[in-house]
């Protein structure tokens, strides 16, 4: 049975207490689980979309950063580009937003390159995927500290460590693959035939004869064309994602991102909103703040977050998405059985 270490904190306003708890939980996990630490360990984070104010700010990670410094371990914030259009679509825009949102304590790595084209295919041979596209700078690391914000998600039901692994570590093409259809679509009326997409495509899968056309047999689903199109004529249909199989694909990508790594997971259960930090607007919390969790098991820590959230609020807060845990356990990502260890 996996241990999940926990520090109860009732308000996100207690920044110093949250930071201190995160550092203590990291130390506790390392010592209790006898974890060997690499000389360089990136912190997998989410910088929050422009206009969002409920993402977990980097000042809450000070205790973790200090612990790494005390142990002569170098680090960086690491993240991947998003699939949709916004301020985190390219490396250049992503870096600017991260700094605007206060992530200045460490260097920043955008793991899948300028437009999402840098990835490694990780072999997993599961039900939905035989290989998964993981951001190159994540795929080649031996260890991550995965810092997750526990909250809702429009497709997954809820987001925690598994979501941070599966969607957060995937390249843009990997994100596209998880959303059911790995080939983007072209809006015939918006397309001006400018050839920007064809020039960018690494597989020469796009031809232009007045209008662009994508060869599905050649397309590898990297989604670079979606970013480069000046007319925003290339898109993805999100409706096909809203199925139970999305949770399976998410879990399989999490499995790929964690494969061969000695990861540590730290989850911040504050500002628990209905939707995720990719929403570019203010959102009100739908549940009480809980505290900080740490574990070496992404399934166990997500289950502990759900259980503690429901107990503290006297109701089932997130009804959808729990199948993700069942399937993740089934494929060997982790275990739903855990022991909650509270620290002072």
Does residue 315 carry a pLDDT above 80?
yes
238 CA to centre of own chain = 18
Average pLDDT over residues 267-295: 93
Nearest to 311 by CA among 288, 293, 292, 294: 288
341 pairs with which residues across the strands?
5
SS (H, E, C) 136-174: HHHHCCCCCEEEEECEEECCCEEECHHHHHHCCCECHHH
For 135, the token pair is 């951001």
**CB 134 within 8 Å of CB 256:** yes
Distance, in Å, from the CA atom of 162 to the CA atom of 281, rounded to the nearest integer, reads 24
pLDDT-derived band of residue 241, with 50, 70 and 90 as boundaries?
Answer: low
3-state DSSP call for residue 110? Answer: strand
Tell me: the pLDDT tens digits for 141-157? Answer: 999 999 999 999 877 88
pLDDT at site 237 = 66
Distance, in Å, from the CA atom of 157 to the CA atom of 142, rounded to the nearest integer, reads 29
Gyration radius (Cα) of the chain, Å: 20
pTM: 0.86
**CB 327 within 8 Å of CB 156:** no
Does residue 238 carry a pLDDT above 60?
no
Domain boundaries, the chain: 2-178+241-342, 185-235
Please give the DSSP secondary-structure letter assigned to residue 124.
Answer: -
pLDDT-derived band of residue 223, with 50, 70 and 90 as boundaries?
Answer: low
Tell me: the pLDDT tens digits for 160-195? Answer: 999 999 999 999 889 888 876 557 889 999 999 999
Tell me: the pLDDT tens digits for 13-58? Answer: 999 999 999 999 999 999 999 999 999 999 999 999 999 999 999 9
Report the run of H or E that residue 291 belongs to, with start and end: strand 291-295
Does residue 6 carry a pLDDT above 70?
yes
CATH 3.90.1010.10 holds for 185-235: no
SS (H, E, C) 189-253: CCCCCCCHHHHHCCCCCEEEECEEEECCCCCCCCCHHHHHCCCCCEECCCHHHCCHHHHHHHHHH
Distance, in Å, from the CA atom of 214 to the CA atom of 338, rounded to the nearest integer, reads 47
Fold topology of 2-178+241-342: Rossmann fold (3.40.50)
């Amino acid at each position: 049975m996996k241990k999940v270490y926990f520090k109860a904190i009732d308000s996100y306003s207690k920044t110093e207490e949250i930071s201190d708890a995160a550092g203590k939980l990291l130390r506790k996990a390392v010592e209790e689980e006898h974890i060997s630490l690499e000389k360089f360990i990136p912190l997998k984070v989410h910088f929050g979309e422009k206009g969002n104010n409920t993402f977990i700010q980097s000042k809450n990670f000070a205790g973790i950063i200090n612990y790494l410094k005390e142990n002569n371990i170098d680090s960086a914030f690491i993240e991947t580009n998003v699939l949709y259009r916004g301020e985190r679509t390219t490396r250049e825009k992503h870096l600017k937003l991260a700094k605007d949102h206060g992530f200045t304590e460490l260097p920043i790595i955008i793991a899948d390159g300028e437009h999402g084209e840098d990835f490694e295919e990780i072999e997993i041979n599961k039900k939905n995927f035989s290989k998964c596209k993981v951001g190159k700078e994540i795929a080649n690391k031996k260890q991550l500290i995965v810092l997750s914000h526990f909250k809702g998600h429009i497709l997954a039901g809820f987001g925690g460590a598994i979501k941070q692994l599966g969607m957060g570590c995937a390249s843009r093409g990997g994100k596209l693959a998880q959303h059911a259809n790995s080939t983007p679509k072209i809006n015939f009326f918006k397309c001006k035939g400018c050839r920007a997409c064809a020039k960018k495509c690494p597989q020469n899968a796009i031809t232009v004869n007045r209008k662009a056309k994508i060869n599905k047999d050649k397309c590898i689903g990297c989604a670079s064309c979606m970013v480069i199109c000046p007319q925003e004529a290339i898109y993805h249909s999100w409706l096909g994602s809203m199925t139970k199989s999305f949770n399976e694909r998410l879990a399989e990508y999490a499995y790929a991102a964690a494969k061969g790594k000695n990861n540590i997971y730290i989850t911040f259960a504050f500002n628990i909103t209905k939707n995720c930090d990719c929403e570019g607007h203010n959102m009100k919390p739908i549940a009480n703040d809980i505290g900080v969790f740490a574990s070496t098991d992404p399934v166990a820590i997500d289950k502990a977050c759900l259980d503690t959230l429901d107990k503290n609020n006297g109701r089932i807060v997130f009804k959808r998405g729990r199948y993700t845990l069942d399937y993740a356990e089934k494929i060997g990502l982790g275990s739903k059985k855990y022991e909650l260890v509270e620290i002072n």
